[in-house]
Structure 1
C-alpha cells in the first residue's frame, strides 16, 4: 500500500520543469563521444597507465628543475670533490648526508648528474621519436595513397631500411662524425622511420578507396589535401600508440651508444655514460651503477606501461584477446 501511495503522490505532484501547458516534457539530448574521448576515458580507468603517467611526470619535473638539485646540494653537475667525494684510496664515497646518492669515480655528485642525465634521455627520446614519426608518416602516406611506381619504390626502400643492422650502422656513423646530441637524434631518427611508414602505408591502403576519399576527389581536392586533411586524422591512433612505445626504445638506444662511448662527449651527464664509467666499480661502489641503472629502468618501464595502456585504450579488443 505504501508503494502505491508513493506512486499516486508522484503522479499528483509532478516535478516542476520548463514545459508549458499542453507541451510535451523536454527530453535532454544524448551527447555523442568521439573516439578520442572514449580512448581517454578508458585510459583514465587503467590504474597502471595512470601511475606510469605520474612517474613520467615526476621524471620530467626532475629534468626541468635539475639546476635546483645543484643549488640544494651545493654541488654543480661537473664539479669534482676529490677531497670529500673520494675515499683515501681514491674510491667513490657511498650515500651520506653530503652526497645523498654517493659519488662517482671523480668525486661528482651522482644525484645531481642523474637529474641532468634525465634531460638528455628525455630530449633524445622525444626529439628522435618526433623525427621518426614525421618521416614515417609522410613516406607511408605517399606510398599508400599514390600507389603504382611510387608505392613500389618506397615499399622497397622501407624493406631495405628495416633490413639494415641499425645498431652497427649507428655505431659506425657516430664514430665517423663524432659524438653529439644532434648526430645521435638524426641517426636514431633516420633508422627508425621505416616501421612507422609500414604501419601508415597499411592503414592508408585500406582507406584510399573509402567513400569520404572519393567525395573529396569529386570536389576537386588535391592529393596533398586528401592525404593530410582527410586520411591522416584517421591513421593518427596507431601512430600515437607506436610513438608511445618507441620513446623508451630510443632512450635505451641512446644509453647504449653512450655506454659504448659513442654518445655525448664527457663531461656531459648521461645515464648510459654513467653506467659505463661504473662498470669497473660494481663490486666496491654499488651505488655508482645501481642508481643510474635504476633511473634508466624506471623511465623505460613507465613509458612502456603507458604505451600498453594507450594501445588498449585505442583498441580495447586487443586487451580482451590477450585475456582469452
Structure 2
C-alpha cells in the first residue's frame, strides 16, 4: 500500500511575499493613508495649509508684533507725500494699501475669511448634495425623477446674476456669501452621490439589511453612506479651493463682505488703480490667494490618488 502524499504546510509569515504581508489585514482607509503619506507633494501642500490655518488663527499676533490694527490707517507713515501706498520696509513688512493700512496684518485677517467661507460653504454643499443624492439614488422612481430635474435646474441657473440680485436685496455679508455659494454648488455633489448609490442599492449588504427589517433611512445613512464617503472626501478637498476663489471673485466684484473687512478678493479689487506704482499692493494678496488654492488643489489630487483602487500596493 502506497503512503499518502504529505499535505504541504502553509508558508511561514516570513516566507510570504512582501506585498502580501504588508497589505493583508489593512483597511482601505489605512491603505489610502499610506499612499497619501508617501506623496511628498500632497504632504508639502498639507504643511502649507496648516501654516495658512495657523496664520489665520493667530492673526491677532501680527497686530501685536507690528503694533498696527487691521483697519488702522497711517496717513503720515503709510502713505507717500503723493498719497501713494508705501512699499515694504522695516515698519510695514509687506507695504501698505491705498489707505495706509498694513498689508501684512490685513492679509493675515483675510486668511480667516477665505478659510471660513471655504470650509463653511463646502460643508453646506456636501451636506445638501449628499442628502439629495442619497434620496434620489436609493429611493428611485418619482423621487429620483423630481430630484434629478431639480439638479438640472440648479446647474442651469446663472450663478453671478442671481448672486448680484440677492446681494442687492439683502446686502453683502458673510452669511449671504456662504449661502449663495452653498446653494449653487450642491447639485454637482448630488450627481456624484446619486451615481454611487445607484451602483450600491442592489448590493448584498443592502438586501441583508432589508431582510433584517431596516427602514430606508437607516439603510441610506448607516449602510450606504459609509460606502460613498471616499469620493465625498475627495470631492470636498477639491471643492474648498474652488469656493475660496468664488468668494474672492464675489469680493472683487463688490459682492462679498462689506469694507473695511480684510478680504483677499476685496484687497485685489482695491489695488486695481495702483498696480503700476505699487506692485506689492496686488502681488501679496494675490500670492496668498494663489498659494492657498494651489495647496488645496495639490492636496486634493493626492487624496484622489490615495483612494484610487488601481494604485500600486503600499510597501513598508
State whether TM-score is above 0.5: yes
Aligned pair in 2 of structure 1 residues 291, 209: CA closer, same or farther (>3 Å)?
same
Whole-angstrom distance in 2 between the partners of 1:316 and 1:203: 15
- Equivalent residue, structure 2, for 1:58: 51
Whole-angstrom distance in 1 between the partners of 2:27 and 2:153: 38
2:276 is aligned with 1:248 = no
Alpha-carbon shift at residue 175 of structure 1 (Å) = 2.3
- Equivalent residue, structure 1, for 2:66: 73
Whole-angstrom distance in 2 between the partners of 1:158 and 1:317: 31
- Equivalent residue, structure 2, for 1:286: 279
- Equivalent residue, structure 2, for 1:10: none
- Equivalent residue, structure 2, for 1:148: 141
Task: Trace 1:228-267 onto structure 2 (pairs within 5 A).
Answer: 228-267=221-260
Whole-angstrom distance in 1 between the partners of 2:169 and 2:310: 47
2:34 is aligned with 1:41 = yes
- Equivalent residue, structure 2, for 1:12: none
Q: Which runs of 5+ in 1 are unaligned?
A: 1-25, 320-324
- Equivalent residue, structure 2, for 1:202: 195
* Aligned counterpart for 1:189 among listed residues 176, 179, 182: 182
Query: How many residues are matched?
Result: 296
* Aligned counterpart for 1:102 among listed residues 95, 99, 104: 95
* TM-score (norm: length of structure 2): 0.91
Aligned pair in 2 of structure 1 residues 197, 77: CA closer, same or farther (>3 Å)?
same
Alpha-carbon shift at residue 27 of structure 1 (Å) = 6.6
Higher RCO (C-alpha 8 Å, min separation 6): 2
Whole-angstrom distance in 2 between the partners of 1:172 and 1:71: 40
Whole-angstrom distance in 1 between the partners of 2:85 and 2:262: 17
* TM-score (norm: length of structure 1): 0.89
2:266 is aligned with 1:273 = yes
- Equivalent residue, structure 1, for 2:105: 112
Q: Secondary structure at the match of 1:291?
A: helix
Alpha-carbon shift at residue 316 of structure 1 (Å) = 5.0
Q: Which runs of 5+ in 2 are unaligned?
A: 1-11, 15-20
How well do the aligned residues superpose, as a CA RMSD in angstroms? 1.8
Alpha-carbon shift at residue 318 of structure 1 (Å) = 7.7
- Equivalent residue, structure 2, for 1:221: 214
Q: Secondary structure at the match of 2:79?
A: coil
Q: Secondary structure at the match of 2:273?
A: coil
Larger CA Rg, structure 1 vs 2:
1
